[in-house]
Structure 1
Amino acid sequence: MAQTSVRPWTRPHDWVEVVLGVVLAVSPLWFATNTAALWTMIVLGALIALDGLASLARPGMVYGEGIQIVLGALAFISPWVMGYTELTGAAWTSWIVGALTVIAGAAALPVANAAHRTAGQH
């Protein structure tokens, strides 16, 4: 039963992270942005998606979930730090995707820990 948690490409938390990253990265296509918002959303979105893919490929990689939580927190605070709170669509997208990324990363952490422990027993 624990063996199924170690199989790559099967963890829904990580798929959610990939989707959230893609949404953040492409959302400047739909929302008005300035240069800071555009590049912040593209870079953080790409990093979130890539880290999600890395976690999918290596389910026992626990630190990937910690990175995901940090990236989500950065996405959440980016409208204030990068000065695009007045760009409503971009700001709300960053806040929502950031919060959901933190939640997904935190939810995946125990699963990654279990996969890591199981992989270490083989």
Structure 2
Amino acid sequence: MKKWMRWEDWVAVGVGLVAAICAFVMPQMGASMPWMLIVGVLLIAAGIANLAMPGMVAMEYVQLALGAVLFVAPWLGGYADMQSGVAWVSWIGGAVAVIVAALAVRPAMHMHDRTLPH
């Protein structure tokens, strides 16, 4: 695996970007703005770290955890109204981030094992 080439991490960066932008452009409910902005920026950072250093297995788990946090954020932040577009962005984005991070864990483990000296 080469740096900057893993589609899973690019998707996570995209999800983080969408969440962070939606924090500003969509009507806010409850504490949706800080939740989506913070988790979105952290997802972007985790995705960029994974793109720059593809063998860091721990960062893949961090990315997975951030996706899970984004998914539950509507309930934690009080914006889980089914009519709320920001809640749907969190639910769909969180699910996508969890799925792509889970898909990236095994290749990251393989990359990590190849880079260790034997």
| 1:9 match | 4
Q: CA RMSD in A?
A: 1.4
- C-alpha separation between the residues in 2 aligned to 1:41 and 1:115? 31
| 1:98 match | 94
2:105 aligned partner, one-letter code: L
Task: Write the mapping of 1:1-122 to structure 2, written as runs, cut at 5 A.
Answer: 5=1, 7-34=2-29, 36-86=31-81, 88-121=84-117
Gaps of 5+ in 2: none
- C-alpha separation between the residues in 2 aligned to 1:68 and 1:23? 15
Query: Which consecutive aligned stretches of 4+ in structure 1 deviate over 2 angstroms post-superposition?
Result: none
Normalising by structure 1, we get a TM-score of: 0.90
Answer with 31-40 or 99-108: which moved more: 31-40
Gaps of 5+ in 1: none
**Identity level (%):** 39
Question: Deviation per CA, 1:26-63, whole angstroms, max 9, x where unpaired?
Answer: 11233211461001000000000100000000000000
Normalising by structure 2, we get a TM-score of: 0.93
Answer with 81-90 or 101-110: which moved more: 81-90
Kindly tell me the number of residue pairs found equivalent between the two proteins: 117
Q: How far apart are 1:118 and its partner, in Å? A: 1.2
- C-alpha separation between the residues in 1 aligned to 2:74 and 2:47? 22
- C-alpha separation between the residues in 2 aligned to 1:99 and 1:34? 20
2:4 aligned partner, one-letter code: W
Instruction: Specify which structure has the higher proportion of helix.
Output: 1
